[in-house]
Amino acid sequence: SQQGEEDPQALSIQEGENATMNCSYKTSINNLQWYRQNSGRGLVHLILIRSNEREKHSGRLRVTLDTSKKSSSLLITASRAADTASYFCATGSAGGTSYGKLTFGQGTILTVHP
Amino acid sequence: KAGVTQTPRYLIKTRGQQVTLSCSPISGHRSVSWYQQTPGQGLQFLFEYFSETQRNKGNFPGRFSGRQFSNSRSEMNVSTLELGDSALYLCASSLSPFFDTEAFFGQGTRLTVV
């Protein structure tokens, strides 16, 4: 079962604009990660934020985490056509039932028009 | 260093047959997880292996099984294939058993059951 929801399900923007995607989850987490997937291929890790962190940056990416609201957001600034992909949030937990398990959201399909 | 390698990339099987998929993790990664991705259910955790032991299993029927070899390579097997097993099967490896560091995904095996 999915951990939570991603919003919006699809996002269409022009090159140079910013893209914001949101993710909500249901249970307590150890960390939250964002992944990108191009056309049904493998997932590429973008950024990881731990439960005791509130914000993290990596290049044009900015991730925030609000554990009180059980939500996270991914901001891509100055988007490029090459950013067109599906973006997934995934949560990880500690404990024996969580070995190797990331729980994914349904994803946001981002289309960046040149 | 080489990434996660999955073989074969594409597979077409008939209902009732069985299939074996292979995954070679990144060198040094001992934790390997498998995921099923379908349009309807999204990304679902199948199982995780560490040092040849299955430590975690998702909510899938017993037709789905796997194993890990001493060199950390992993295989998953699906017996008595059903049409609903058509999916992209992704393998991931990580240094951390809880996948609370970057997880590296392979390009996936696209299985079509006809």
CA distance A41 to chain B (A): 5
| Residue whose tokens read 């937990």 | A93
Burial of A73 (0-12, 13-18, 19+ CB in 10 A): middle
Contacts of B87 in chain A (CB under 8 A): none
Residue A100 belongs to what H/E stretch? Answer: none
Interface test with A, best of B98, B101, B104 (most A CBs within 10 A): B98
Residue range A21-29: mean pLDDT, rounded: 91
In the block, tokens 């060199």 appear at B71
Between CA B105 and CA B95 the distance in angstroms is: 13
For the stretch A53-101, pLDDT in tens is 999 999 999 999 999 999 999 999 999 999 999 999 999 876 667 777 8
Stretches in chain B below the pLDDT threshold 50: none
Q: What is the pLDDT of residues B11-24, one digit of tens each?
A: 999 999 999 999 99
Q: How many other CB atoms are there within 10 angstroms of residue B73's CB atom?
A: 16
Contact with chain B for residue A109, Cβ under 8 A: no
Query: Is there a contact between B105 and A42 if contact means CB atoms under 8 Å apart?
Result: yes
Chain A residues with beta carbon closer than 8 angstroms to that of B76: none
What is the CB neighbour count within 10 angstroms for residue B71? Answer: 10
